[in-house]
Structure 1
Amino acid sequence: MSKKHTTTPKIPTPAPDGCAAFIRKALPQVTGWLILLVSVCFFTGTYDSAHVKLTLMQIGVCTLLVLWAALKITEHKNPFTHQNLLFLTPLFVYLGWQTLSFLCFPYKLEAAEEFLRLLMYGGVSTLIACEFTAQDVRTLTNFMVATAWICLVYGLFQIANIWLPGVDLLPWHGFFGNRIFSTHANPNFFGAFIVFSSAIIGIQFAQTRKKSLLVLLAIGLIDLAFTESKGAWLAYAGMLVFAAFTYTNFMVNVRTHLSKFNLAALAVLLLAGAAAGVYSAKRFQSVSFRTYTWLSAFEMVKDSPILGTGPGSFKLVYPAYRRPQIFYIENAHNNETQHAENEILEQAATGGLVGLALGLWLLVALFWGTFKTLRAFPVEEEPRQWALLGYSAALMGLLIHSVVDISLHFASSGLLAAVFIGVILALTIPVVPSQPPTQTQAKYPRLLFLTRIVVALVLILAAGYAVREFYFVWRNMAVQTWGEGMLLFFAWSVLLGCIGALLYVHGKVLYKTTRLSVALLLLLCAASNVFFLRLFTANHYYSLGVALVQRGYADTSLGAFNDAIRRNPFLAEYRHYRANVFATTLNLTKHFSAERGDTDKARTDFDRAVDDFQYTLRHNPNHARLHQDIGQLYYSLGMRQLAAAQNDPSQMFLYQQLAHENFTLAQKALQKALALDPVNPDTYLILANMAVLRHDVTEAQHWVDTYYQGPKGVTEEEFLKHHRDNPQMQNMQMHINRLRATLQP
């Protein structure tokens, strides 16, 4: 008999979870596209032309965090381990302290957007630190290089446009004279981009020897010269010195060309110092502006040294400390200084000295971890070494730049700083191998099927809403040049591309997931994206309202301001401007008008203005123009009532009494305005004129003399000269002299 052979049946290998695998591939791609779009997008249809960067950042980060949450739910795994928590602790403690500081600040609504942005940045850093591999970092690097090609080459077009007008077709050319800014909000922000992108490009060149990268570095230096950014030159030099120091002291088996690196670093440092000196001499006003701003910020630190005033609060608290010299330098009284022009001072002012110490702890931990990891890398991990060197140098350059600039607080640089921190952590945290999750069956397949249908419909509706909203924005924009046509074409292309990409990513996750909670997370993402889009379109309608007012269509502008407030009811600035429009129209007939913002009762324009001013006072009481505008409102009403007294002798006493009451309220508001802005001549003129109307020559002379003397603490002759040579005040003095002569017996 033949012997029977038996075979052991194979146990089928569980299939990997398709949803988790797709999300892991999507995360670095979405992050890379987010970096590119936030860096290159610019839109002139909003009041803040860089608002589109903020909106893209908010939508992109929200999408990333939802995808990460979906990944962890699918894997049924805690993202935090004993290995990574040690490295993440400084970041978490820093964010925790900032949260505590924010919760103690009384004006949270106005500070909330910047605080939310800080949390988003922290989320991006944590996501990258926990999930990104060395291959994912290479993907980000490729996107960074592609972004640099777009921004830096376009900078050459702006340079060429100086001598060949028309080379740059886009409508924003010449915003800063001959200073170029590429696709960034201003030349200083572009300078920051050149600094940190050059670090990554330079390391890529050192690793790959691609000559095209050397060309890109040269283009960056040319662009940097035409930004005329002093801080960017210093940051570029500091970045190079840091890279050379790190390379020669911590890279494994690298000791060649040490003298060449040191000489090159020294040469660039000297060149940067010379360039900064030249640009300082050309625009010394910016140096003075920063100096006075720093002095004011230091006063803020002294008054709240432990807890600070809270992230996002600087622009709300700073006006109470602003030096009068700032008004002369800016030659304006409605400008809003949002940041300290020095990140160390801003961290100390808003987070207290404790917040500053925790921030420094985070940075020391990052760079200390970088040095230790670079020394510990085996030879076969040389590409990872180069990446860590490049991103740490990029972060150092950005940090040095932030000592004299505010770019860290804007999406174009803030997002990249978060990415750099995340990448450094990802490359320093020890890699722990893990098995991919296996495919599981849905617990409630029918309910999941119905949920998929509902979520898919919501995603489609959200996409349609976005197209509809942007269509209304596009409809309000006139296309008069080729450049404006190109801008709208690019805008529509980016919008439709982003919508298509989001639908694809969300749809793929929705199709592959077997968990109800993941499907519901996509609903949350769609709702948040619509919310952020409404904030963007609100800024457009605010811009439209301002443009209509400037063209003399005050009544027509109210519809645009109402649209802005409906889409973003949280920002006091929109209500403040609408209140000023009501103060201009000042229709004193009480009537109900939905077009003027009425919801439940009839009001006059005076009532509407007071309501909007009161809202602004509750949320931003230190705005320099706010008390001035309130005083002018009461003053205008008082003048109307004096005119009515002349026209109706039978009611003269009543009208005069009402005018006196409004003048009293105007004086209180204007004196508060003087505490915040003691330079504005309009304030003194109104106060003097009200005294003249009361025939109070002594008080009228007091206000004129006070203006002539100049604000307390101002001793600079160039500033005081503005007071002595003011023709309006000279006319007021002549008017007072005539009144004094008529009152003498």
Structure 2
Amino acid sequence: MNSVWQQLTLVNLPLLQWQNGSYLLNWAIGPLRSWRQSSWLMQWAEPLGFVLLALTFGMGPFVNNALVGVLMAAGAAFWLLLTVSDDRAIALTPIHLLVFLYWGISTVAAAMSPVKAAAFTGWTKLTLYLLFFALMARILRDSRWRSYLIAVYLNVSLIVSFYGVRQWIDKVPPLATWNDPTSTQANLTRAYSFLGNPNLLGSYLLPAIALSAAALFVWKGWGTKLLALTMLLVNCACLRFTDSRGAWIGFVALLVVFLVLLWYWYSPLMPRFWRTWALPLGLGSLAGMLILGIVLVEPLRDRVASMFIGRGDSSNNFRINVWTAVIDMIRDRPILGIGPGNNAFNKVYPLYMKPRFTALSAYSVLLEIAVETGIIGLSCFIWLLATTVNQGVLQIKKLRDAQFNSSNLAGESSNLQSKIPNLKSDGGFWLIAAIATLAGMMAHGFVDTVWYRPEVNMLWWLMVAIIASFYRNSPQETAGTISGE
């Protein structure tokens, strides 16, 4: 069974040998390498790539989508320039191959779409995101740039969160009818910060919560740890004030996965009792605190209760009607869907929608993928997700085993702190945060599609890129990663 799973997730794929023997890759990579060697500017290629990434993530929440698109296009063009002028083989991973396969399926879906012009627009946006992912996966292979980019995002998210908390304190009026006007929550203030929508803000904050929690373990010195703790608390408070039920579901999923992986990381150091009981006790305590909070805080209790009343809540009723129409759309074009992008969706959805239930998306990531690229595209996406998470867990295991070697495991001591060695690599915590974020964003994505907006979509691909950046084809590269973190 384990062998089947390894084959399915491409664990033993001989990428390096295949890449060396590929005529197409050898032709595409490096035809301009002589120009690059003589170019003064391209000597700073990786710092320039980092600047493009930092600008995109730094400006994302504060500027319009058109400018974000320009920055992403610049990043995509820069990746192409790096690739054709590279003096070494491109760093391919199983994740890259499945991303390319998903892009290929989307390309065919766009070509077969009943609304080809609209689907081409969506295909262009998807291509931009995937090229941006390729640039991130390349630049973030250097642990310095990885840490710097995470720091940029965390500091920007702190500003976004502070503003959101301030909105809640000032009881700002909503920009739209976000609450059921017939419920007790009709006049509830929901923070939306610079992003203009509380659900979008909630999804934007999920990676910030996971990464700020990881920063508590990674960043050295009391000053930076205090900053990480401040980020974590402010991000969590702002998430609470969004009153985004989908984001709350994502937060719970994120927290569970983060705690499970944290236990996995430290389990070699634990005495036998804690190795057995730490996880159930921790998850049980978490469940108890969540239940206590729901019981004692009335607005929180009302908001959570609204998830379970079905069509009795207007937001639930709206989503159910949209999902019903989307399932009809999938039933009519089950193989390759209607083509990628919200423009294609907006052209076809009116033919299926129920009166008065207009929608810009399917309000579910999995349904959105299925309606855009059919069952083939959905299967590929699930394959990509499983492979990405599996690669992340494998890299966590490698880093953990390198850190906690046999000399650290001699005997079992009740004093856990005395057994923690000086870290050879803190990268494992970024991996834990990335995997937990994927779980949280997918849980939110079951009931919403806000992560198709650039501010959130970039973060999804950032998490995938962080995991891909740890992949190494050779033992020498692996050793370099462990010592270089």
TM-score (norm 2): 0.74
Does 2:344 align with 1:323? no
Shift of 1:60: 1.0
Partner-residue secondary structure (3-state), 2:61: helix
Partner-residue secondary structure (3-state), 2:195: coil
Does 2:201 align with 1:216? no
Q: Distance in 2 between matches of 1:346 and 1:122?
A: 18
Shift of 1:102: 0.8
Does 2:242 align with 1:234? no
Q: Distance in 1 between matches of 2:258 and 2:371?
A: 31
CA offsets 1:542-566 (integer angstroms, 9 cap, x no match): xxxxxxxxxxxxxxxxxxxxxxxxx
CA offsets 1:541-597 (integer angstroms, 9 cap, x no match): xxxxxxxxxxxxxxxxxxxxxxxxxxxxxxxxxxxxxxxxxxxxxxxxxxxxxxxxx
Rg comparison, structure with higher value: 1
User: Please, which of 145, 149, 172 is the counterpart of residue 154 of structure 2?
Assistant: 145
Q: Distance in 2 between matches of 1:422 and 1:263?
A: 32
1:123-522 matched pairs, under 5 angstroms: 123-132=131-140, 133-162=142-171, 174-176=174-176, 178-208=189-219, 210-250=225-265, 253=268, 255=270, 258=279, 261-267=282-288, 270=291, 276-280=303-307, 284-312=313-341, 313-324=344-355, 327=356, 336-377=358-399, 378-379=402-403, 380-430=423-473
The structure-2 alpha-carbon separation of the partners of 1:121 and 1:279, relative to structure 1 and needing over 3 Å to count, comes to same
Q: Distance in 2 between matches of 1:143 and 1:197?
A: 11
Q: Which has the higher contact order (CA 8 A, sep 6+)?
A: 2
Q: Distance in 2 between matches of 1:142 and 1:85?
A: 25
Shift of 1:384: 0.8
Does structure 1 conserve the Cα–Cα contact (< 8 Å) formed by 2:326 and 2:349?
A: yes
Q: Distance in 2 between matches of 1:145 and 1:315?
A: 34
Q: Distance in 2 between matches of 1:410 and 1:264?
A: 35
> Runs of 5+ in structure 2 lacking a partner?
1-36, 177-186, 295-299, 404-422, 479-485
Letter in 2 for 1:36: G
Q: Distance in 2 between matches of 1:26 and 1:149?
A: 25
Q: Distance in 2 between matches of 1:338 and 1:56?
A: 22
Q: Distance in 2 between matches of 1:371 and 1:251?
A: 14
Q: Distance in 2 between matches of 1:67 and 1:77?
A: 16
Letter in 2 for 1:175: L
Partner-residue secondary structure (3-state), 1:305: coil
Does structure 2 conserve the Cα–Cα contact (< 8 Å) formed by 1:237 and 1:265?
A: no
User: Please, which of 4, 22, 39 is the counterpart of residue 61 of structure 2?
Assistant: 39
Aligned to 2:73: 62
CA offsets 1:2-25 (integer angstroms, 9 cap, x no match): xxxxxxxxxxxxx99643331211
Q: Distance in 2 between matches of 1:343 and 1:430?
A: 32
> Runs of 5+ in structure 1 lacking a partner?
1-14, 42-51, 166-172, 331-335, 435-745
Does structure 1 conserve the Cα–Cα contact (< 8 Å) formed by 2:76 and 2:131?
A: yes
Q: Distance in 1 between matches of 2:327 and 2:41?
A: 51
Does 2:39 align with 1:28? no
Q: CA RMSD in A?
A: 2.6
Q: Distance in 2 between matches of 1:264 and 1:60?
A: 44
Partner-residue secondary structure (3-state), 2:282: helix
Shift of 1:361: 0.1
Does structure 2 conserve the Cα–Cα contact (< 8 Å) formed by 1:198 and 1:217?
A: yes
Aligned to 2:99: 91
1:469-618 matched pairs, under 5 angstroms: none
Q: Distance in 2 between matches of 1:224 and 1:65?
A: 31
Q: Distance in 2 between matches of 1:363 and 1:418?
A: 11
Shift of 1:155: 0.8
The structure-2 alpha-carbon separation of the partners of 1:275 and 1:224, relative to structure 1 and needing over 3 Å to count, comes to farther
CA offsets 1:255-289 (integer angstroms, 9 cap, x no match): 46545632454246645795752454898100111
Does structure 2 conserve the Cα–Cα contact (< 8 Å) formed by 1:203 and 1:386?
A: yes
Q: Distance in 2 between matches of 1:216 and 1:141?
A: 13
Aligned to 1:449: none
Letter in 1 for 2:458: L
Aligned to 1:734: none
Does structure 1 conserve the Cα–Cα contact (< 8 Å) formed by 2:202 and 2:239?
A: yes
Aligned to 1:75: 86
Letter in 1 for 2:349: Y
Q: Distance in 2 between matches of 1:213 and 1:247?
A: 17
Q: Distance in 2 between matches of 1:279 and 1:36?
A: 35
Aligned to 1:115: 123
**Range with bigger deviation, 256-265 or 339-348:** 256-265
1:7-22 matched pairs, under 5 angstroms: 18-22=40-44
Shift of 1:222: 2.3
Does structure 1 conserve the Cα–Cα contact (< 8 Å) formed by 2:260 and 2:279?
A: no
Does structure 1 conserve the Cα–Cα contact (< 8 Å) formed by 2:450 and 2:456?
A: yes
Shift of 1:392: 1.8
The structure-2 alpha-carbon separation of the partners of 1:262 and 1:93, relative to structure 1 and needing over 3 Å to count, comes to same
Q: Distance in 1 between matches of 2:196 and 2:387?
A: 31
CA offsets 1:425-460 (integer angstroms, 9 cap, x no match): 1123447669xxxxxxxxxxxxxxxxxxxxxxxxxx
Partner-residue secondary structure (3-state), 2:385: helix
The structure-2 alpha-carbon separation of the partners of 1:375 and 1:252, relative to structure 1 and needing over 3 Å to count, comes to farther
Does structure 2 conserve the Cα–Cα contact (< 8 Å) formed by 1:195 and 1:235?
A: yes
The structure-2 alpha-carbon separation of the partners of 1:391 and 1:29, relative to structure 1 and needing over 3 Å to count, comes to farther
CA offsets 1:639-694 (integer angstroms, 9 cap, x no match): xxxxxxxxxxxxxxxxxxxxxxxxxxxxxxxxxxxxxxxxxxxxxxxxxxxxxxxx
